[in-house]
Structure 1
């Protein structure tokens, strides 16, 4: 398996070059050109990410004139069997590659096993890759399709016969990678280094948030199901009709199965990509 920092043909752009240039400006400075119209002006966006991961997205929304309504649905905590995960990480230092499914997986793996990682690291998404690169690690990640499917399309994972791979993830993490890689001949182990804990809210708080917002950002299936459970019945129809941004095609399908009418996935599941998707979806709603 030959490794490099990025390998994947760029998928057809879902957003125009105008959106791409705005994205770069927002990402670099946290603000947009004041001479340009603010694409989320007057819009209220419900951001459900864990509290420690929401700041940049909220700043970008507000830089575009929107109002970010924070409603963290999940808390990220260490896995209950951290000792077993630590032993697996330490025993897997000689693996052909470690594959990380989230930035949380990177953070918690570092706490459990700070040294001795293999040279070959891969990340499902851009934020995960950035977390690895911040620690000084070169990383392989899809160039466009930030998903398990995108990673599996990379040449480095098409033929993994005889290789030993470790997937570093959370409890009940991505169920696609391990069976697919085993089916291609690899020996695959899974280190669950953190868990997601649903946060409690009373119905009145959720109802107020649903009434107030124009769109919702959800970053996991567990968070989506939790929001649906928390939402009082009188507000459920409104929730299902809101613009909903989710991470990837599988989540679009899942949201549609749950009754959401307009779920969509950004071309790139990055913070600027989410803002782009919100802007286009809300503009189309006019």
Structure 2
């Protein structure tokens, strides 16, 4: 079938953490892509789990828990197996992870990012309401800053952290030279990729076609000198990344 060969001959570098990359890599390979793996970061539990367990239990009386990623859902569940309140999810994949746990969830209809969450009708008049932001360490502060400015009572709980993985610069240069397109699923991963490249091989990254999750990471790619306009899927989901690549490969 044509779908089975829709990415035939395309060399795709997947930089997602190893524990989360299998499904995407399998979908790409099923369509004929030559998949290269380079997990740039690992997801690690937070450093003070006992404190977080108590904080999550105390936050169950909140109006809602706001989750910024699937990682936030999974790591929070490892810390708290109780009944969670209603949730707000940044993206479709995060919403699906919450629904699998039986949690009632609301997500943006189109803009799967912090801006989309902040545009939800229920968060426009939130003064005096209590929320918990379930996220990772060193994430964006836009949701927290904006909700507090709107008068909400917000507790931020960083339930996981990203750990940069080291690679020899020569290995990174070799992989990029053998790559047609790279899927980079976070701004932190893109920054790590740029740091790992030897200075003399920076052109490999600038000439690479990227697929990224948001307009924020598109702007980040431009700032580091990437020449080709990065691709962006309509949703942050494996199937959307594949469809995005198929449309680009056809052109």
Aligned with residue 134 of structure 1, among 100, 103, 108: 100
Q: Which residue of 2 aligns with 1:93?
A: 60
Does the 8 Å contact 1:203/1:230 carry over to 2?
yes
1:232 is aligned to 2:198: yes
Aligned with residue 172 of structure 2, among 206, 219, 223: 206
Deviation, 1:36, is 4.4
For 1:101 and 1:53, the matched residues in 2 are separated by 16
Q: Which residue of 2 aligns with 1:181?
A: 147
Q: Which residue of 2 aligns with 1:70?
A: 37
Q: How many residues end up aligned between the 2 structures?
A: 250
Deviation, 1:53, is 0.6
Aligned partner of residue 264 in structure 1, secondary structure: coil
Does the 8 Å contact 2:40/2:189 carry over to 1?
yes
Aligned partner of residue 230 in structure 2, secondary structure: strand
For 2:2 and 2:233, the matched residues in 1 are separated by 25
Does the 8 Å contact 1:210/1:235 carry over to 2?
no
Deviation, 1:233, is 2.6
For 1:39 and 1:278, the matched residues in 2 are separated by 9
User: What does 1:263-282 correspond to in 2, within 5 Å?
Assistant: 263-282=230-249
Change (3 A) 1:202 1:35: closer
Deviation, 1:45, is 0.7
Deviation string 1:110-168 (CA, Å, 9 cap, x unpaired) is 111110311x1111011111111111112111122211111111112121111101000
Change (3 A) 1:175 1:163: same
Does the 8 Å contact 1:243/1:281 carry over to 2?
no
1:148 is aligned to 2:148: no
For 2:72 and 2:163, the matched residues in 1 are separated by 15
Normalising by structure 2, we get a TM-score of 0.95
Instruction: Give every structure 1 segment of 4 or more consecutive aligned residues whose post-TM-superposition deviation is greater than 6 Å.
Output: none
For 2:3 and 2:207, the matched residues in 1 are separated by 30
For 2:128 and 2:249, the matched residues in 1 are separated by 48
Q: Unaligned 5+ residue runs, structure 1?
A: 1-33
For 1:221 and 1:36, the matched residues in 2 are separated by 30
Normalising by structure 1, we get a TM-score of 0.84
Deviation, 1:283, is 3.9
Deviation, 1:35, is 4.2
Aligned with residue 48 of structure 1, among 15, 22, 26: 15
Q: Which residue of 2 aligns with 1:242?
A: 208
CA root-mean-square deviation:
1.4
For 2:47 and 2:248, the matched residues in 1 are separated by 40
Deviation string 1:28-68 (CA, Å, 9 cap, x unpaired) is xxxxxx14473311001110000111111111111221111
Q: Unaligned 5+ residue runs, structure 2?
A: none
